[in-house]
Amino acid sequence: MTPDFDPVALAVPFFVLAIVLEIILGRLGRAKANYEPRDTFTSLAMGLGSTTAGLLTGGAIFAASLWVYEHRLFEIPMTAIWAWVALFLLEDMTYYWFHRLAHERRFWWASHVNHHTSQHYNLSTALRQTWTGGVAGTWLLWLPLSLIGFPPAMVAIQKGISLVYQFWIHTEAIGRMPRWFEAVFNTPSHHRVHHARNPRYLDRNYAGVLIIWDRLFGTFQAELDEEPCRYGVVKNLGTFNLLRVAFHEWAAIGRDLLTARSPREAAGYLFGPPGWSLDGSRETSDQIRARWAATQPEALSREAAAATGPTPAARSESLV
């Protein structure tokens, strides 16, 4: 049985109203909101397709969660406040590692990349979601929560709460939040960095709700006033074709696998970092960042010095 309380479904009217409001405020010059009609339509259509795909795979995924829960290690009641607090922390850390995996390994990047294909950053971008997440199997990362003893319905609700939270951080209309908030929570400023294709910003800030995981695991990067975010992927698609947006990286993997000359090369194309190639003719995010860093020694020295300041929200870590 799926959970009766679905935070995402309940939030859909809010999503629509918030997007309309952001568009109006942008048109009136009261907020920074860059919308392009075809891009917005693509994001909304991807969101609808993702919902449909979720309906097709959601039952099997939830059934797998129930099976694991039948072999649970502990009894955790849904009515206990401590259980919700513990689940919030564990689920949020799980989301961090899922999100990091989805950027650092090509197989899972293929199902996530469509979320990053917009060259605009607004609330509609939050709805540009995957059609192939269920097939890619990243949902397996949440099964240990049910094995511990959290009821699958409880896990599903918490995942929904996390997704609803992440909607509002897809905007340029909000600058920086108070320092204490920036230090603990994921914010529009932090998430703008995540969506940026600047070498300094590539593959940073994987957080769902709490930015503390990025600070703890060394993937945090502050948004810098002197370097505005440029959105999209390293090589932008240049098309609004839905099928290309949804499946272009899967198609690219298929083409690479056809040229693979050994199991090692095939494994590299499938599970290596995005941009990996045997002959080095393409670049991974780490290689792009390293090449950029080699030309920025003074800027990085200033950045490293700033990292010793008193306020974590004002810090930006060295990329070297």
Question: Does residue 276 fall inside a structural domain?
Answer: no
Q: What is the mean pLDDT of residues 210-214?
A: 98
What is residue 136's predicted lDDT score, i.e. its pLDDT? 95
Total structural domains in the chain?
1
Q: What is the mean pLDDT of residues 56-64?
A: 93
* Residue 253 in this model has a pLDDT that exceeds 80: yes
What is residue 295's predicted lDDT score, i.e. its pLDDT? 87
202 vs 23, 116, 129, CA distance in Å?
Answer: 28, 11, 19
Q: What is the mean pLDDT of residues 159-182?
A: 97
244 vs 161, 176, 314, CA distance in Å?
Answer: 30, 34, 39
What is residue 280's predicted lDDT score, i.e. its pLDDT? 86
Question: Does residue 216 fall inside a structural domain?
Answer: no
Question: Does residue 235 fall inside a structural domain?
Answer: no
pLDDT band at 310 (very low <50, low <70, confident <90, very high): very low
Question: Does residue 120 fall inside a structural domain?
Answer: yes
State pLDDT tens for residues 36-45.
Answer: 999 999 999 9
* Residue 182 in this model has a pLDDT that exceeds 80: yes
Question: Does residue 189 fall inside a structural domain?
Answer: no
- Beta-bridged to residue 231, according to DSSP, are 196
Question: Does residue 254 fall inside a structural domain?
Answer: no
Query: With the C-alpha atoms ordered 93, 98, 101, 102, is the resulting torsion angle positive or negative?
Result: negative
Q: What is the mean pLDDT of residues 52-81?
A: 95
Q: What 8-state DSSP symbol labels residue 196?
A: B
* Residue 316 in this model has a pLDDT that exceeds 60: no
The backbone torsions φ and ψ at residue 196, rounded to the nearest 5 degrees and listed phi first, read -85, 150
The pTM of this model reads: 0.91
Query: What tokens were used for 205?
Result: 């800030």
* Residue 225 in this model has a pLDDT that exceeds 80: yes
Separation between Cα atoms, residue 28 and residue 19, nearest integer Å: 14
Question: Does residue 55 fall inside a structural domain?
Answer: yes
Q: What is the mean pLDDT of residues 181-197?
A: 98
* Residue 118 in this model has a pLDDT that exceeds 70: yes
What is residue 313's predicted lDDT score, i.e. its pLDDT? 39
* Residue 213 in this model has a pLDDT that exceeds 90: yes
What is residue 305's predicted lDDT score, i.e. its pLDDT? 56
- Structural domain including 81 reads 7-182
Query: What tokens were used for 136?
Result: 């890619």
Question: Does residue 191 fall inside a structural domain?
Answer: no
